[in-house]
Amino acid sequence: MAETVQMEDQVKYQTVAPAKSLSYASRVKRSYRQIKVESAFKVALVSMGIFMVVLVFGIFLTLVIGSSQSIKTFGISFLWGKKWDAVNDVYGAWPFLAGTLLTSFLALFISIPFSIAVAIFLGEYFPKGWFSELLKNTIELIAAVPSVIYGLWGFLVLVPFVRTIEIKLGIQQQQGWGIFTASLILAVMIIPYAASLGRSVIQMVPSALKEAAYSLGATRWEVIKNVVIPYTKSGLFAGILLSLGRALGETMAVTMLIGNSNDIPKSIFATGNTMASAIALFFGEANDIRRSSLIELGLVLFVITMIINMLGKRVIKRFTN
Amino acid sequence: MKKNFLHKILTASVILFAAISLSSCGSGGGSDKKSDSTSSASTSGDDNALIGAGSSFDNPLFSKMFYDYNTSNGLKVDYQSVGSGAGISQLTSRTVDFGASDAPMNGKQDSAVTSPVLHIPVTAGAVVLSYSLAGLKDTLKFTPSLLADIFLGNITKWNDPKIAAENKGVNLPATAITIAHRADGSGTSNIFTTYLSKVSEEWSKKVGKGSSVNWPVGLGGKGNDGVASLIKQTPGGIGYIELAYAVQNSMPYAKIQNKSGEFITPSIGSVTAAANITIPADSKVSLTNTEAKDGYPIAGFSWVLIYKEQKYNNRSADRAAKLLKLLSWMIHDGQKFSGALYYAPLSPAAVTTGDAILKTATYDGKPILQ
């Protein structure tokens, strides 16, 4: 018993002592550990980066494989096929494609005055002060609120509002649901995207340019009109494009307001459906060719948003160069 | 060193990429036979836990039944309420012990499975017509042709003489009719469109039947709650929802004229009555437009689907026996939970047919239930 205690003491002493005396060796040891940590860190970073790229390609590939049956059956004419007919298993994307493009562009059209105004207000007109701070935080909040809440608000407030407008205008369908209502809610939802990018490009306008204009006697409105807007045109445009990407893919709020019919919308007050909303609605009960066609809808949406995103990125790049 | 390291990661990512795309192949088609090997793990696991998937209509009843069965028999049943169509695909790919569907399997689905599937009726439900008309106290009455005309968009105002003729003494407003229907694929839509196709030639030609059809007019809502809120939110709204949902949310619903000319209020009793007809041996019958004199005409069975031959994917005989015992309990003792949840208990004729079908199930060719 006593012997073992002694032995243990000895072992302790032996292991501690060299580390204390040989400071050179311990430094080598530590730097070796540092190298290990360093390379492990690098492995982690690179592998996570690669994982993300692989993931996106994997998603794309999944969509392509999943939609192969539909691509084989309907070919390219799937894109402009006028009917989504689940009874006879004939599927065309056009009703949903039209609904998506109509709601997104209408929303964009409605949102532009607001997003540009907010961008100018925060970027140039009143960059500081409590009201700008409040506005900035509010706009950020708009982007953070879950879309189902917009759907609820639209359902309870916008729909009756649009219905009264429709009755006053004497429009045939007086339901309050439809493309127009969905576009209104989408417009609200996408304002932050264009506004925040717009704000940062407006802040990038060189002050020398603005000061030169002021020194020539230009008013604030003239500076904004003749210096800031021309200088930031492409940046503002890029922000709008990116917010379009957001509008294209919005699902929940649209589903709750658009009326969800499979017809090609005849007017902006008619009901319709978008691709994202159709996928969410139909996927649960879909199998076989219907499922494959829904996946192809997803593929089309994926490609469209990818193109819009790439366009936006390119415009931004041109702007910053 | 650097190159070697990047190379390793690239190799790993290629493998990962391949794995992702391969697994997507397996689930992407959602159809055929190749999935036998991939899915065996999930069904041959714990023999004291069965897995089912399908109809969301059945879910509240099944939850209650399986909870009770677990307490008394110790068997755990995991039911995924994913929708009838998805339930059938999961049974087809043999990832579940049983599927549940509000519509019998169609020709296409039948040809996708590799061995015969049994349909066992477990409960019945009704689809009711609910409406919102401010100030209206009386219960509205609809004839089959009236319903078809409304849903085809031929009748657009509530005070249309055709509606007034069936509802004498009711003060109908000049409000426009707004139709609400299910936007998502649903067994409820299937029952309702099957009914309309039976009673109206125009409907069957123009629209047809199915869990998801192209509605001539109206707004689409997601789920019973989506349709219900569309009805409530729109003055002059009308739509179809499940009986249970309408009762629980105290929404008004119409009396419908059945084949014998009687106006029937939808209820548990009138649905069970609708199912008291001659049921074919395979039980695949639609209760819509029933021959029964006191039966409500827009009703349907919900079925549990299992493979007739229970020996597949290394399933044990014990597991098969437990499944059959559970199903037998569901159509007998389990029925006592129906009423409280507004499901219609099976009619005696349906129970007899169900018993006969369960007896045909086999394990390795030998009958499981005696």
Greatest Cα-to-Cα distance within chain B, rounded to the nearest angstrom: 92
The answer to whether the CB atoms of B186 and A263 lie below 8 A apart is: no
B304 torsion bin: left (phi>0), alpha (psi -120 to 50), beta (else): beta
Task: Please check the confidence at residue B94 and state whether its pLDDT lies above 70.
Answer: yes
The answer to whether the CB atoms of B218 and A261 lie below 8 A apart is: yes
Cα end-to-end span (Å), chain B: 71
The answer to whether the CB atoms of A61 and B20 lie below 8 A apart is: yes
How far CA A21 is from CA of A27, A32, A236, A276, B255, in Å, comes to: 12, 19, 66, 69, 98
Distance from CA of A231 to the nearest CA of B (A): 43
Topology of domain B126-274, CATH: D-Maltodextrin-Binding Protein; domain 2 (3.40.190)
The mean pLDDT of B221-227, rounded to a whole number, is 88
Residues in chain A with pLDDT values less than 70: 1-30, 172-174, 321
Task: Please check the confidence at residue B73 and state whether its pLDDT lies above 80.
Answer: yes
Query: For residues B370 and B367, what is the distance between their CA atoms, to the nearest angstrom?
Result: 7
The answer to whether the CB atoms of A284 and B185 lie below 8 A apart is: yes
A85 touches chain B (CB under 8 A): yes
The answer to whether the CB atoms of A284 and B83 lie below 8 A apart is: yes
Regarding beta strands A90-91 and B141-142, do their DSSP bridges make them parallel or antiparallel, or are they unpaired?
unpaired
Task: Please check the confidence at residue B38 and state whether its pLDDT lies above 50.
Answer: no
Token digits for B230?
A: 């569309």
Residue B76: which pLDDT band, with cuts at 50, 70 and 90? Answer: very high
How far CA A226 is from CA of A204, A207, A219, A229, A237, in Å, comes to: 16, 14, 10, 7, 17
Nearest CA in chain A to B29: A66
Q: With contacts defined as CB-CB under 8 Å, which chain B residues touch A292?
A: 29-30
- Out of A58, A177, A285, name the one closest to residue B212 (CB): A285
pLDDT given at position B235: 87
Q: Does B126-274 match B49-124+302-367 at the fold level? A: yes
- Out of B12, B17, B186, name the one closest to residue A285 (CB): B186
Q: With contacts defined as CB-CB under 8 Å, which chain B residues touch A282?
A: 184-185, 212
Query: For residues B286 and A300, what is the distance between their CA atoms, to the nearest angstrom?
Result: 38
pLDDT given at position B351: 92
A46 touches chain B (CB under 8 A): yes
The arrangement of secondary structure in B49-124+302-367, i.e. its CATH architecture, is: 3-Layer(aba) Sandwich (3.40)
Task: Please check the confidence at residue B118 and state whether its pLDDT lies above 50.
Answer: yes
Label residues B185-210 b or e (16+ Cβ within 10 Å = b). bbbbbbbbbbbbbbbbeebbeebbbb
Instruction: Find which of A63, A260, A274, A279 to mutate to test the B interface (most B CBs within 10 Å of its CB).
Output: A260
Of A37-51, A159-173, B26-40, B278-292, highest mean pLDDT: A37-51
Q: Partners of B237 in the beta sheet?
A: B132, B178
The answer to whether the CB atoms of B214 and A86 lie below 8 A apart is: yes
The mean pLDDT of B55-63, rounded to a whole number, is 89
Query: For residues A281 and A260, what is the distance between their CA atoms, to the nearest angstrom?
Result: 9
Distance from CA of A292 to the nearest CA of B (A): 7
- Out of B6, B85, B233, name the one closest to residue A287 (CB): B85
Residue B248: which pLDDT band, with cuts at 50, 70 and 90? Answer: confident
Distance from CA of A165 to the nearest CA of B (A): 15
Query: For residues B5 and B246, what is the distance between their CA atoms, to the nearest angstrom?
Result: 64
DSSP-based three-state secondary structure for B153: coil
Q: Which residue has the higher pLDDT, B95 or B45?
A: B95
CB pairs under 8 A between A and B: 129
How many helices (H) and strands (E) in chain B?
14, 13
Task: Please check the confidence at residue B39 and state whether its pLDDT lies above 50.
Answer: no
CATH 3.40.50.460 fits A94-320, yes or no: no
pLDDT given at position B161: 92
- Out of B83, B214, B219, name the one closest to residue A85 (CB): B214
Instruction: Find which of A285, A288, A296 to mutate to test the B interface (most B CBs within 10 Å of its CB).
Output: A285
pLDDT given at position A64: 95
Interface subset of A 157-196, CB within 8 angstroms of B: 159-160, 174-177
The pLDDT tens digits for B324-361 are 999 999 999 999 999 888 899 998 889 999 999 999 99
Distance from CA of A31 to the nearest CA of B (A): 18
pLDDT given at position B211: 83
The pLDDT tens digits for B139-192 are 899 999 999 999 999 999 999 999 999 998 888 888 889 999 998 888 889 899
Q: Where are the domains of chain B?
A: 49-124+302-367, 126-274
Nearest CA in chain A to B14: A54
The answer to whether the CB atoms of B21 and A58 lie below 8 A apart is: yes
The answer to whether the CB atoms of B183 and A255 lie below 8 A apart is: yes
Cβ contacts of A208 within 8 Å, gap of 6 or more: none
Query: For residues B176 and B157, what is the distance between their CA atoms, to the nearest angstrom?
Result: 4
ipTM of the complex: 0.75
Q: Which residue has the higher pLDDT, A107 or B282?
A: A107
Mean of the per-residue pLDDT values of chain B: 85
